[in-house]
Structures are given as C-alpha cells and as structure tokens.
Amino acid sequence: MGRYSREKKPLTISQMKVQIEKIETRLETEALKFSEEKKLRDQIKSMKKEIKKAVPVRSSFRPKNVNTPGKASGPEYDLKDNISGILKQERLKRKMSHDEFASLISEKVSVVQKWETGAMVPKLDTARRVQRLLKVGLVKQITSEADGDTDKLLEEITKSSRKKIATLGDMIKITTRNR
C-alpha cells in the first residue's frame, strides 16, 4: 500500500445526487466525444440504480383516494355533460375576458379556452373548486341504473318464490340478467 492509496468511502445519497447534477450539466454544456458521453450517461444510470436500492420502499403504501376493500364507498361524482357551455355562459354573463376569468378561477388562459371549446375538460377536483367559486353546478352525482333494475328483479324473485328471502343462486341470476 502506497502513501497515497486509500480506500474510497461510499458516497451518500445526497453526494450521488450532486454528482449526477454535475455530470448532467457537463453533458449539456460541453461538446464531448460519443464514447465519453456514453460513459458519463452509464455512470449516471448506475448511480441512479444505487440510489433506488438505498431508498427503502414502503410496502404498506396506499394512496388516499383508493377505496379499501370491504369498506362501503361514498357516492360517485362526474362532470356534467355540457361543462364547456356552462363555463362559457358564466364568463359571458359576468362580462369577463378570458384573462379576467382565468385569474378569477386561478387557471391559465389557454386552459380556460380549451375548456370552453371542449378540447379539454377539467379534473373533478378542479371542477369542484370552480363550481364553488362561480356558484354554478358543474359536478353531478352518478346514480347507478343497474341498482334499480336489480331491486326490481329481486322483488320479482321474492314474490314468485315460496321463500321470503332471495338465495345466493337468485342473486347470481340477477347479475347475469343485467349484463
């Protein structure tokens, strides 16, 4: 072992991220040979893999808006059919330009224009926020038509059968009839 040779300490995650940034800026700013550029990109790729390995993955992660099995979910909502016309009508009723209207609802002008033409529709949470600001209905509750049909079929089965309660077999017949 020589005087200047010593073992390299492994880099921490933050040091690796800084190193990756330095290499990326070098790739962007300098004109490098293809082979050297490829080596640097491979180096970035390997560092990113090491970072991925080092960061623990939470196995119990569950997004907030996913329904857990077994729990009854609340009512479902969707956007009204003519949302573009409603938004345009509200803007014109208030005698506002696209710029003023977009600043009122905190959205980009281009997004509001696309909503009005029907080229784009707002996300459900955005529509709820706009609905609250404008005091106009943009969101509707979805009612399942199949639920009503199932109830009618269940009544038929219980009336026609000797028993007062439908069996599991009766329920299977109901679901296959609805399809």
> What is the span of the domain harbouring residue 154?
145-178
Residue 65 in any domain: the answer is no
pLDDT > 90: percent of the chain = 4
Work out the angle at residue 28's Cα, subtended by the Cα atoms of residues 27 and 31, and round it to the nearest 5 degrees: 70
Strand partners, 79: 139
Residue 165 in any domain: the answer is yes
The whole-angstrom separation of Cα 20 and Cα 110 is 35
Element (H or E) spanning 78, and its range?
strand 76-79
Domain tally, the chain: 3
pLDDT at 154 (0 to 100): 62
Query: Does the pLDDT at position 28 exceed 70?
Result: yes
CA atoms within 13 A on the CB side of 138: 26
Residue 62 in any domain: the answer is no
pLDDT band of residue 42 (cuts 50, 70, 90) is very high
Instruction: Supply the Cα-derived Rg of the chain in whole angstroms.
Output: 30
CA 178 to chain centre: 30
CB 112 within 8 A of CB 101: yes
